[in-house]
Homo-oligomer: A and B are copies of this chain.
């Protein structure tokens, strides 16, 4: 088998059996090898930012890496923003980036670029294969790197001749190291703090916001009087009916600071010492009050659920929590605004749904309104690089073909990777997308004032507006092969959302605000 086939077979043997791609000439042998290897699903994306964002969404739901196949430096470049998000989400990923044949690079052909340099800021592991004989071993190394806790971005650069020359066969990926267990002394120390009577917040992130560890954390809080909080953005939270309702550190700095006011101890589990998303004149970068002691109990690389269970035992919080049911909101009537939209969503979300949340300003109020709906996974924009929503929903739907995906999407960020809608149509993915069409980068209107740029004039405001012309999302989505409907009232939204949830396959709802 040639190098490309040894690469694809090694991916499959290492459990990486999905590839999101937009290939070019240098990747043609990889593409050709797909027909010789059963059981590898290749999903065409019309832009590389869709491919990397989909691989991120897939990894969050499958808890294992997908691969991407990208075309030289510029193709990788197009994928960078969502690699950034995936890196911050600690999503494992194996990128295969085509490169000119080893002997051709020196000629500086038009597509030649510094691929390693492009990859490095957004990858934990980067390597260029030197030979077709070695590419399978490099691939196994990439899979190992990607799957090493806390989840890493591995980028393997594959010169064309390493794919077309004779390869060395499949290489098995070594065993993935287990996550480190937290030291007993750290558990004891945390228990002591929790019993001290001082004001403690347990800040949860990463794997600690899955259902079971979250329940353990809530038990500890109930027993000790500590508060639990989640990070502002989470790669994948498990929430909804029967699960703990977790308050998060708010995005606006003043609210975040107020939330942590008076706290004497922060115990971090899968989370980081919280900081402001941006700097603002006269406002702090760190959110925790001065003098608050920060205790790192479990890093994102550690076994966080296990640490929480041991901590629960150490404080005597072993009795399973009874979580009271909540009432879903009533279906509202009339105008569409963040509250009424949130109420419709909260009233109708089905059990076991996957929610991909890039609702930005519109979505800030959705959290409390949706908690009474059935158990669900809730995926957020993790690295602040807008344009992950549509791709993330695409990847989540590929990972979980039996679950409904609801994609909550702001219009400005939706335009970044709108090409992903076509992939949803081609793959008949079960995704309902709500586009919140407020025709503006609404978040930036607030940010102008926050950074002290007061009284903006017409030129400034024009840069924050998506109007003139208004984007017609129904027309756009139909152009990409999707069923699409426009709604202007809460009643219409409820009707259309209900029927889209009942049907199978992609549907876009333009929610005009």
User: By CB atoms of chain B within 10 A, which of A84, A382, A465, A472 has the most?
Assistant: A84
A324 within 8 A of B: no
Whole-angstrom distance between the Cβ of A117 and the nearest chain B Cβ: 4
- Which of A419-478 touch B at CB < 8 Å? 419, 422, 425-426, 443-444, 447-448, 450-453, 456-460, 462-466, 468-478
Determine which of B21, B103, B111, B383 lies in contact with A74 in the assembled complex, contact meaning CB atoms within 8 Å.
Answer: B383
Whether A84 contacts B88 in the complex (CB less than 8 A), given A285-B103, A447-B25, comes out as: no
- Which of A117-150 touch B at CB < 8 Å? 117-118, 120-122
The chain B residue with its CB closest to the CB of A120 is B117
B109 engages A469 (CB within 8 Å): no
Cα–Cα distance between A88 and B29 once the two chains are bound (Å): 27
B29 engages A451 (CB within 8 Å): yes
- Which of A465-501 touch B at CB < 8 Å? 465-466, 468-481
B463 engages A31 (CB within 8 Å): yes
A186 within 8 A of B: no
- Could you say how many copies of this chain the assembly holds? 2
A35 within 8 A of B: yes
Whether A160 contacts B25 in the complex (CB less than 8 A), given A80-B74, A463-B42, comes out as: no
A213-221, A275-283, A344-352: which one contacts chain B? A275-283
B100 engages A466 (CB within 8 Å): no
Whole-angstrom distance between the Cβ of A11 and the nearest chain B Cβ: 14
Contacts beyond the supplied A101-B279, A118-B118: 15 A-B pairs with Cβ under 8 Å? A29-B453, A34-B459, A34-B460, A35-B458, A36-B457, A74-B84, A74-B383, A77-B122, A84-B113, A104-B285, A109-B384, A160-B279, A472-B479, A475-B475, A476-B479
Interface set of A (CB-CB < 8 Å, partner B): 21, 23-26, 28-29, 31-32, 34-36, 42, 44, 46-47, 49, 73-75, 77-78, 80-81, 84-85, 88, 100-101, 103-104, 107-111, 113-114, 117-118, 120-122, 160-161, 164, 233, 272, 275-279, 281, 285-286, 382-385, 387, 412, 415-416, 418-419, 422, 425-426, 443-444, 447-448, 450-453, 456-460, 462-466, 468-481
